[in-house]
Amino acid sequence: MQYEAPESVEAAVRLLSGGGPRGRVLAGGTDLLVQLRAGVITPQLVVDIKRIRESREIREEDGMLVVGAAVTGAELGEHARAKSMWPGVVESAELIGSTQIQGRASLGGNLCNASPAADTVPALVAAAAECRVAGPNGMRRVPVEDVCTGPGQLSLGDGEFIVAFELAAPPPGSADAYLRFIPRTEMDIAVVGAGVNLSLDESGRCTAARVALGAVAPTVILAEEAGAALVGTECDDSAMEAMVAAVRAACRPIDDKRGTAEYRTKVAGVLATRAARIAATRAREAR
Amino acid sequence: MARAHVITTVNGDPVEFLCDTEQTLLDVLRDELHLTGSKEGCASGDCGACSVIVDGRLVCACLMLGVEAQGHSIETIEGMAGGDRLHPLQTKFLEHAALQCGVCTPGFLVAAKSLLERNPDPTETEVRYWLAGNLCRCTGYDKIVRAVLDAAQEMRGG
Ligand SMILES: Cc1cc2nc3c(=O)[nH]c(=O)nc-3n(C[C@H](O)[C@H](O)[C@H](O)COP(=O)(O)OP(=O)(O)OC[C@H]3O[C@@H](n4cnc5c(N)ncnc54)[C@H](O)[C@@H]3O)c2cc1C
Ligand code: FES
Ligand code: FES
């Protein structure tokens, strides 16, 4: 196995797209190393992106938050500005694993491991985050919800990798939240995850809402009707009921040892309601 | 198999080693550098027996490649005692009988040290959450948590 740690985006793209063996991107390695060890993957080339500045820094560009794809959960959690702009995205990243895993695990790795239960993905989708994808044809922007096409499957082309995530400046009166359900308090895979991002006007009426769900379909899903059910309302009980109905209609879960399809569908509605309430409270405080 | 030449710092000392690119940092520490204090409990990030500190961050050595150590600073359990003088956490683990078979102990000590470096006065809940990635099959955790709280108090000078 050839190991490379390029220091620029261009050098990484050259390695990943240059005629040699097909390369694997390495960020924190908390998924990759487990798969290497288990023999699930046997890459001939590993390209470590942690020496690339753009992938390792958190910065603000014209009010927008740009988070490097290899920034760790611990680093994001310590970033006061990131936390105040996108509390739901940050809390989703902080849920990943233990202290040790937090020291390495990244948003890019969480997304590109392409698990339907990845914790940060519903939060990023609800936040309408976009990926900066570098490849042989230059840079392009891809909405987070378009990156995974199925469990373990990505839409990224040959030689492409995610350099960073763009999170727009939230408009006044906006906030997000993420909740997951696991049978214990730490260190487990989500049975269901729900991310909600909403905006309230001065009178408390919802002007925009995005609801995204994890572990209830082959990929994380954006439940557009669920968001639409909140828009124009004051997020009162009847609006929440309509939102829950739309959430449950969007779920296409499987039965497994973590929960039955019926249970997941039920819990998805409960979590989406709670996350929406937290987001609404934060949005009011943000005014 | 590709061999790599790596220059790094381990417990404050400059170290050079050759390793296969597939070897984890844990493999390198144990098999190449003969620092066998860090243990392999699971090799999948679940047990924390391999905990080390890299550039001030607690990580699992089993989830990092040896080649990734290039240019970084690594602290292991071997660097914890100052010569013959045990670190207060080590003393308190002995006093509280916070170990039985001892396989988890180096990982707990390194993890607890990194907690107290950041937070000299943690609550019991904070200790329990910080150490949630360290598993112990023997002690039932209570003695470990008490030893950490007691060491924290002593290190604060109380
Ligand atoms: C003990 C333990 C507990 C965990 N708990 C959780 C949890 O609670 N919630 C959760 O969601 N996950 C959890 N995970 C899974 C894992 O930690 C996360 O998915 C993490 O975010 C992966 O990030 P990474 O940087 O380590 O990725 P890596 O392992 O480096 O990479 C993962 C995959 O993504 C690819 N990749 C990485 N970065 C990029 C990029 N920028 N562009 C293109 N491809 C890329 C890699 O090639 C690889 O296929 C846990 C893992 C362990 C070992
Ligand atoms: S051996 Fe590394 S976490 Fe268990
Ligand atoms: S003392 Fe045996 S595993 Fe902890």
Respond yes or no on whether ipTM tops 0.95. Answer: yes
> What CA–CA distances, in Å, run from A224 to A21, A168, A196?
40, 19, 11
Greatest alpha-carbon pair distance for chain A in Å reads 60
Could you tell me if B24 and B67 lie in one domain?
yes
For the entire predicted model, the pTM comes to 0.97
Taking only the tens of pLDDT, chain B with its 158 residues reads 688 999 999 999 999 999 999 999 999 999 999 999 999 999 999 999 999 999 999 999 999 999 999 999 999 999 999 999 999 999 999 999 999 999 999 999 999 999 999 999 999 999 999 999 999 999 999 999 999 999 999 999 97
CA trace torsion B119, A189, A147, A110 (10° rounding): 30
What are the residue ranges spanned by the domains of chain A? Answer: 55-167, 180-286
Separation CA A182–CA B128 (nearest Å): 18
Residues B24 and B72 in one domain: yes
Torsion of CA A28, A51, B72, B126, to 10 degrees: -40
Q: What pLDDT score was predicted for residue A189?
A: 87
Do residues B130 and B120 lie in contact, with contact meaning Cβ atoms separated by under 8 Å?
Answer: no
Looking at the structure, tell me whether residues B132 and B68 fall in a common domain: no
Q: How far is the CA of B72 from the centre of ligand 3 (A)?
A: 30
User: Around Cβ B133, how many Cβ atoms within 10 Å?
Assistant: 24
Q: Considering the domain A55-167 in this protein, what is its CATH number?
A: 3.30.465.10
- Domain span at residue B52? 3-79
Residue ending a domain, among B52, B79, B106, is: B79
Q: Which residue of A has its CA nearest to B133?
A: A98
Pick the atom of ligand 1 nearest to A41's CA.
49
Cα A213 from Cα A160, distance rounded (Å):
26
pLDDT confidence bin for A21, thresholds 50/70/90:
confident
Give the number of whichever ligand sits closest to the CA of residue A34.
Answer: 1
For A100, the closest of B2, B48, B70 (CB atoms) is: B48
Q: Are A109 and A121 in contact (CB under 8 A)?
A: no
B113: tokens are 């040290």
Residues B73 and B95 in one domain: no
| Ligand 2 atom closest to residue B46's alpha carbon, by position in its atom list | 3
- H/E element holding B153? helix B142-155
A189 touching chain B per CB within 8 A: no
> Per-residue pLDDT for A186 more than 80?
no
Rounded to a whole number of angstroms, the distance from the CA of B5 to the nearest CA of chain A is 11
Beta bridge partners of A181: A192
Residue B45, sorted as left (phi over 0), alpha (psi -120 to 50) or beta, turns out to be left
Question: What are the beta bridge partners of residue B75?
Answer: B53
φ, ψ for residue A207 (rounded to 5)?
-105, -15
What is the average pLDDT across A37-50? 95
Looking at the complex, does the CB of residue A33 fall below 8 Å from at least one CB of chain B? yes
Q: What DSSP designation does A255 have?
A: -
CA of A26 to the centre of ligand 1 (A): 9
Domain with B46 in it: what CATH number? 3.10.20.30
Total number of domains in chain B: 2
Domain A180-286 sits in CATH at 3.30.390.50
Return the bridge partners of B82, or none: B85
Question: What single-letter amino acid sits at A141?
Answer: R
Task: Tell me: do B44 and B95 sit in the same domain.
Answer: no
Same domain, B57 and B114: no
pLDDT of residue B158: 73
